[in-house]
Amino acid sequence: MFPQFLEKTEITFFPFITNKKDLIKSDIALVEGCVSEESQIETLKNIRKNSTKLCALGTCAAFGGILGLSKKKRSDPISKFVEVDFVIPGCPPPINLLGNALMDLAENKSIKLPEKNMCYSCPLKGDMKANLNTLISRLLPSNSELNSDDDKQVCFLKRGILCLGPITREGCDHQCIKQGIPCEGCLGPPSKDFTSNLINFLSLVSLSNQLKRYDGIFNRFSKPILKRR
């Protein structure tokens, strides 16, 4: 998929793999990474000025990313400072989702992201009847559970492990879940804002006091959206 994309495009600026240092007018700009320093804002605005379409590539650019867990560094999504035309989420973006999105961009089409949540096609969904009274007290399964085939057949929420699949967009082929790890939400929500979806979801489940005090639930991949300046 990627060779096909490169055949249809010409790279005009890519500091990691080319020596070209000047931004020129381009049809498509793919911006990866969150804004963590003030100096990056001017560069970002310059990219926006010189591109017809700008796409936030990856969870950091789209939502702020894992740096949101830091109490010392900022982690703003690029949409806080410039207009974003398309988003390709994921940490990293799933290869099929990324490949299809890049080809859509190369062919001047709109990117179509999945509109259903992870639970819709989750291999652990079972009968889809979750017991909302189960106390959610853990973020990860134990080592013994990771090695148990029996545990891999049961929904994480039913086992008292926090899984954000109900509020996360599908499209990664459940790679983490298939490895015995619950969804942490890197693909973002199917609709609206991650934080509002998360608050609504957590209001329906029973969280332990320890998890209620853990800010990382909210800041793992996103912080509340603020007005663009």
User: pLDDT, tens digit, for every residue of 105-118?
Assistant: 999 999 989 999 99
Structural domain ending residue among the three candidates 54, 77, 106 = 106
If asked whether residues 193 and 138 sit together in one domain, one would say: yes
Residue 225 covered by a domain: no
Which pLDDT score is estimated for 87?
Answer: 95
If asked whether residues 9 and 98 sit together in one domain, one would say: yes
CATH of the domain at 98: 3.40.50.700
Contacts of 177-183 with C-beta under 8 Å, sequence gap 24+, read: 177/118, 177/122, 177/123, 177/124, 178/123, 180/141, 180/145, 180/146, 180/151, 180/152, 181/140, 181/141, 182/139, 182/140, 182/141, 182/156, 183/118
Which pLDDT score is estimated for 43?
Answer: 92
Residue 227 covered by a domain: no
Phi and psi torsions of 104, nearest 5°: -60, -40
If asked whether residues 95 and 135 sit together in one domain, one would say: no
User: pLDDT, tens digit, for every residue of 199-227?
Assistant: 899 888 999 999 988 888 887 887 665 54
Name the residue among 180, 186, 139 with its Cα closest to residue 160: 139
Residue numbers in the chain where pLDDT is lower than 70: 1, 127-132, 151, 223-229
Q: Which residues of 196-226 are buried (b: 16+ CB within 10 A; e: fewer)?
A: ebbeebbeebebeeebeeeeebbbbbbbebe
Which pLDDT score is estimated for 225?
Answer: 57
Residue 228 covered by a domain: no
If asked whether residues 40 and 94 sit together in one domain, one would say: yes
If asked whether residues 215 and 126 sit together in one domain, one would say: yes
Which pLDDT score is estimated for 48?
Answer: 96
Residue 226 covered by a domain: no
Structural domain total, the chain: 2
If asked whether residues 148 and 194 sit together in one domain, one would say: yes
Instruction: Provide the domain limits for residue 203.
Output: 118-219
